[in-house]
Amino acid sequence: MKSTTFMVGRNRMDIMLKTFFLNLSHILKSKWPKFMAVLVMVLVFNCVSAQQDSTHLSQKEWYNKTLRDREIQHLKDSIALDMLHSQLQRGNSSSEQKILQAKLDSLQAKDSLSMILAKDSIDNLRANTNPVPVIFIDDTLYSIYTQLGPYAATKRVKDLELKLKHLYELPVYTPDSLMTDYHSDISLIKYKGEVIAAVTYLDAIWANKDLNLLLDEYAKRINSVVVANRENNSWNRTLERWGIALAVVLGILVAIYCVNRGFMYIVKKLIRSKSNAIRGIKINNYRIFSRAHVLSFLIQVLKVLRWIAIAIVIYAGFTFILSRFPYTHEWADSIVNWFKSPIVKGIMAFVHYLPNLLTIAFIVFVYYFLNKALFALGKEIESGKLRIKGFYPEWGLVTYKIVRFVLLVLVIVLVFPYLPGAHSDVFKGVSVFIGVLISIGSSSAISNTIAGLVITYMRPFKIGDWIKVGDSTGCVLEKNLLVTRMRTLQNEDITLPNTTILTGKTINYSESSRDPRCKGLVITVDLTIGYEVDWRVVTKLLMESAEKTDRVLAFPKPFVLQREFKNYNVSYQLNAYINEPEDMFFIHSDLLHKVMDIFHENNIEIRSPDYININETIKNE
C-alpha cells in the first residue's frame, strides 16, 4: 500500500512538471525580458534537482522504515512462535494441537514471507549503502550495514571495537570463554556472560548467510584476532623480535664487510692479472683502449656493483626488521611496494612489448642482410667484376648508398608504430618538432645533397683528377653528397659545396689522358715576336723548344699557331701534348725555360704587347 501511494505521488509530480514546462514555453514566446526567462529556467532546474534528491532520499528512508517495521514484526512473530512451541509441548488434546499447529504454520509462513520482503528491500538498498567495517589493530573482522534498535551502524561498530580492546587488554584471556547465544531474532556473542556483539536476522540477510552460521563465523574471527594480537604483542614475542632485529643488523654489517673485502680482492686480482683480455682492446694495429683504460673501467663497474650489493643488503635487512613488528609491518609493505611495483610494471611492460620487439627485430634482420647483399653488389660493380651496360663502375657504391638510405627510411617508417609510446601525443609532438627543426635547418644541406647526386651521375670528375672550379685548381681528394674537397699545388685544402660546382664551370685536366678519343692534355705558351723576325724561324724555334722539353709527347707533334697581328709585334702560341696532368705546372715551367733559352741563343727578343726597345731608341738618337 505504501509503495502504491509512493508511485502515485511521483506520477502527480511528473504531471505538474509537464504542465509547468508548457506554461514556461508560452512565457518565453511573450515579450518578457530575456534575463527573466533565464532566471525562471534556473529556478525550475533547481526545483527539479531538489525534487529528485528528495525523492531518492524519501525512497531510501521508506526502505529503512520498512526494514525496522519488519524487524519489530519478526521479533513479535518469534515470541509468538516460541509460545506456540511451548504450548505444543504441553501435550494438549488433539483438537487443540491441530489448532496450535495451524497457527504455528501460519506464523511460519508469514515470517518466511517477511524474510523474503526484507531481502528484496535490502537488495534495493545494497547499491546505495556503504557498510561500516569493524577494524581492530589493522585487521578487518567484518562489516555492519544496519542499525540495532536505536543504535546506528557506526555506534554498533564503535562499541564493538571498545569491547574488543577490553578483551585484548585483559590480564588473562581464555578463548573457550567466548560463547555464542542463539536466538531466532537476535543472537549474541558473550565472554564470561558479558555481551561482546549482537547479530540480528537483518545482519544475516545483508551477509546472505544463515544467522547461526554467521554468528559462529563472527565469533571465530573475534577469537582468532584477539588471540593472535595478544600473542604478537606479548613480552616474549617482543624480546624475540628485538633479538632477531639485532641479529639481522649484525648480519647486515657482516655482509657489507664481506662485500667490501670481496671488492678489494677482485680489484687486486685484476691489477695483478696478465690476461690478454686486460691488455687492452685493439683493432688491427690501432689500440682503442689501453690496459690502464680497461682496468679503470672494470674497477668503476665493480664499484657500482659493490654499492648496488650494499644497498640490496641494507634494503632487505631493514625491510625484514620492520616486517617483524606489528606497528611497522605496514611500513615494510610500503617499502617493498615502492621497489616491487616499478619492477613488476617494467617486467609486465616488457612482456607485453615482446611481440612488438620481435616484429622490430625481424624488420632489422631483413634490413641487415639486404644491406649486406646490396653492399657486395655495389663493390662488385665498382671493382669492374660485374658490368652492367650503361652503368659506370663509379656509380656502384654511390647507388648503394642511395638505396641504403631509402631502405633505412623505410625501416624507420615500419618500426616507428612499434616503438614504446609511439601513439602518445607527447611522442607525436616531439617527432613533429624535430621534423620541423630538421626541415628548417637542412635546406642548404638538402640542396647540396641533390647537387652531389647530380654530380655523381654526371661524372664530371673522379677522385684524383686535377680540376679547376672558378679560380681554384687542384687535385680532388674527396667527393661526397655534401661537399667536394681538393688540394692545390701549394698544398691548400679547399672545400667546395656541391651547389657551387653544379652551378659553376668545372675544367677537368685529367679526363683527356684517360679518354682514348683524346691525344693528351695540351699546354700552351703565348709569346709575341717583332715583325722583323721571320715567322718560319719563330715556328722552328718553338717546335725545337717543345722537342727538348722532358715529358712533352713527341706524338702527336707540337704545333704553333700565329694568333694575332699587333701594333708592334706578332702573337704566337705554342701547343704541346702531355700525358701527365698531375705535373702539368712543372712541365709548363720547363717548356718556358726552353723557349727562353733557345730564343736568347738565337738573339731573338721575346716582346710583350707593350714592349719598347729602349736601347735601340737611345742608339738611334
pLDDT single digits (tens) 93-140: 666 666 666 666 666 666 565 666 666 666 666 666 777 888 877 678
Task: State the average pLDDT over residues 552-572.
Answer: 92
Contacting residues for 439 by C-beta, under 8 A, at least 6 apart: none
Identify the residue with better confidence: 572 or 454.
Answer: 572
Residue 536 has pLDDT above 60, yes or no: yes
Identify the residue with better confidence: 576 or 609.
Answer: 576
Residue 178 has pLDDT above 90, yes or no: no
Confidence class for position 533, pLDDT limits 50, 70, 90: very high
Q: Give pLDDT, residue 358.
A: 93
Q: Give pLDDT, residue 396.
A: 82
* Residue 371 contacts residue 407 (beta carbons within 8 Å): yes
Identify the residue with better confidence: 238 or 526.
Answer: 526
Q: Give pLDDT, residue 66.
A: 54
Task: State the average pLDDT over residues 44-51.
Answer: 43
- Chain centroid to CA 593: how far? 74
Q: Is the peptide bond before 556 cis (omega within 30 degrees of 0)?
A: yes
Q: What rounded mean pLDDT belongs to the chain? A: 78
CATH classification number, 514-620, choose in 2.60.120.260, 2.30.110.10, 3.30.70.100, 3.20.20.240? 3.30.70.100
CATH classification number, 459-508, choose in 2.60.40.1180, 2.40.30.20, 3.40.50.300, 2.30.30.60? 2.30.30.60
Q: Give pLDDT, residue 89.
A: 64
Alpha helix stretches (DSSP H) within 384-442: 395-415, 425-441
Task: State residue 139 phi and psi, 5-degree precision.
Answer: -115, 130
Model pLDDT for residues 303-360, shown as the tens digit of each residue: 999 999 999 999 888 888 888 777 777 787 788 888 888 888 888 888 888 999 999 9
pTM of this structure? 0.48
Rounded CA separation 166/168 (Å): 5
**559: closest CA among 524, 608, 588, 533?**
524
Rounded CA separation 118/205 (Å): 8
**520: closest CA among 500, 541, 546, 495?**
546
Identify the residue with better confidence: 129 or 535.
Answer: 535
Tell me how crowded residue 403 is: count the other CB atoms within 10 A of its CB. 16
Q: Give pLDDT, residue 27.
A: 47
